[in-house]
Amino acid sequence: MKFEQHLSQQQKQVQKLAMTQQLQQSIQILQYNSEELFAYIEAKSLENPLIDIQTETNYGDFPSSGSRTYTNEENNYLNQIPDNHTSLFEYLIDQIHLNYRDTYLRTLVLFLVEYIDLNGYLMIDLDEAALKTGAKAIEMLDALTLIQQLDPAGVGARDLRECLLLQVERDDTAPELAYIVIEEEFDHLANRKWGLIAKKFDVELSEIQTIFDYIQTLTPAPGSIFESTSGLYIRPDLTLRIKENQLKVLSNKTGTPTIQFQQAYFERMEATEDKEVQEYIKEKKNEFEWLEKTIIQRGDTILRVGTEIVQRQQQFFFQEDRPLKPMTLKEIAESLNIHESTVSRAVNGKYLETEFGVFELRSFFSNGLSNEATGEETSTNSIKKQLQALVDNENKAKPLSDQKLVDLLKEQEIEISRRTVTKYREALGIPASSKRKRYDD
Tens digit of pLDDT at every position of the chain (441 positions): 443 444 444 444 444 444 456 777 788 888 888 888 888 888 888 888 888 887 654 433 333 333 333 333 333 333 333 444 578 998 999 999 998 999 999 999 999 999 999 899 999 999 999 999 999 999 999 999 999 999 999 999 999 999 999 999 999 999 999 999 999 999 999 888 999 999 999 999 999 999 999 999 999 999 888 765 444 467 788 999 988 889 999 988 765 678 888 888 888 888 888 888 888 889 988 988 998 999 999 999 999 999 999 999 998 888 887 888 888 889 999 999 999 889 988 998 899 998 888 888 988 887 655 444 444 455 677 788 888 888 888 888 888 888 988 888 888 888 888 888 888 888 888 888 888 888 876
When divided into structural domains, the chain yields a total of 3
Please name the amino acid found at residue 91. Y
Same domain, yes or no: 360 and 428: no
- For 257, the domain range is 238-364
Note whether 291 and 413 are same-domain residues: no
Residues 248 and 294 in one domain: yes
CB 168 within 8 A of CB 212: no
Residue 122 near residue 223, CB atoms below 8 Å:
no
Whether 107 and 161 map to the same domain: the answer is: yes
CA within 13 Å, CB half, 49 = 11
CA atoms within 13 A on the CB side of 316: 24
Domain presence at residue 316: yes
Residue type present at position 377: E
CATH of the domain at 413: 1.10.10.60
Q: Are residues 92 and 210 in the same domain?
A: yes
**Do 203 and 247 sit in the same domain of this protein?**
no
- Dist CA 307 CA 313 (whole Å): 10
**Position 156: which residue type?**
G
380 and 367 Cβ atoms separated by less than 8 Å:
yes
For residues 423 and 342, state if they share a domain. no
Which of 425, 331, 324 lies closest to 384, judged by CA?
Answer: 425
For residue 315, the Cα-to-chain-centroid distance in whole angstroms is: 26
For residues 246 and 204, state if they share a domain. Answer: no
- Please, how many CA atoms are within 13 Å of residue 69, restricted to the half-sphere of its CB? 2
User: Is residue 352 one of the residues assigned to a domain?
Assistant: yes
Question: Comparing C-alpha atoms, which of 243, 174, 242, 244 is closest to residue 211?
Answer: 174
Q: How far apart (Å, rounded) are the C-alpha atoms in residues 369 and 373?
A: 12
User: Which of 364, 387, 408 is the last residue in one of the domains?
Assistant: 364
Return all residues near 32 (Cβ < 8 A) that are at least 6 apart.
Answer: 40, 298, 349
Burial (CB count <10 Å: 0-12, 13-18, 19+), residue 33:
middle
| Within a domain: 22 | no
Mention every residue, 6+ apart, whose C-beta is less than 8 A from residue 371. Answer: 377, 378, 413, 414, 415
Flag whether 10 is in a domain: no
11 vs 336: CA distance, rounded Å: 36
| 3-class secondary-structure state, position 122 | strand
Q: Residue type at 269?
A: M
Distance CA(45)–CA(194), nearest Å, equals 62
- Measure the CA–CA gap between 369 and 380, rounded to whole angstroms: 7
Asked if residue 180 belongs to a domain, the reply is: yes
Eight-state DSSP code of residue 267: H
Question: Within 13 Å and on the Cβ side, how many CA atoms surround 147?
Answer: 31
- Whether the CB-CB separation of 289 and 259 falls below 8 Å is answered with no
> How many angstroms separate the most distant Cα atoms in the chain?
102
Q: Which residues contact 42 (CB under 8 A, 6 or more apart)?
A: 53, 257
Q: Are 30 and 301 in contact (CB under 8 A)?
A: yes
DSSP state of 202: T
Q: What pLDDT does 87 receive?
A: 83
Q: What is d(CA 216, CA 123) in angstroms, rounded to the nearest whole number?
A: 24
pLDDT, position 51? 85
- Considering the domain architecture, whether residues 204 and 283 belong to the same structural domain is answered as no
Residues 352, 343: Cα–Cα separation, whole Å: 15
Task: Give me the pLDDT at residue 227, please.
Answer: 63
Q: Is 33 a domain residue?
A: no
- Is residue 252 within 8 A of residue 237, CB to CB? The reply is yes
Domain closes at, from 364, 398, 415: 364
- In this prediction, residue 363 carries a pLDDT of 85
Interstrand relation of 351-354 and 238-243 (parallel, antiparallel or unpaired): parallel
Give the CA-trace dihedral at 157, 162, 166, 168, to 10 degrees.
150
Do 98 and 215 belong together in one domain? yes
Same domain, 269 and 199: no
Residue 206 CA to residue 194 CA, distance in Å, equals 10
Q: Who contacts 45 (Cβ-Cβ below 8 Å, separation ≥6)?
A: 51, 52, 53, 259
In this structure, what DSSP letter does residue 274 have? -
Boundary of a domain, candidates 364, 382, 402: 364
DSSP, collapsed to helix, strand or coil, labels residue 366 as: strand
Residues 251 and 377 reside in one and the same domain: no
In a domain, 64, yes or no: no
Query: Is residue 77 a contact partner of residue 233, using CB atoms and an 8 Å limit?
Result: no
Q: Which residues, including other chains, have CB under 8 Å from residue 262's CB and lie 6 or more apart? A: 49, 50, 51, 52
Beta bridge partners of 261: 51
402 found inside a domain: yes
- Alpha-carbon distance of 439 to 399, in angstroms, equals 12
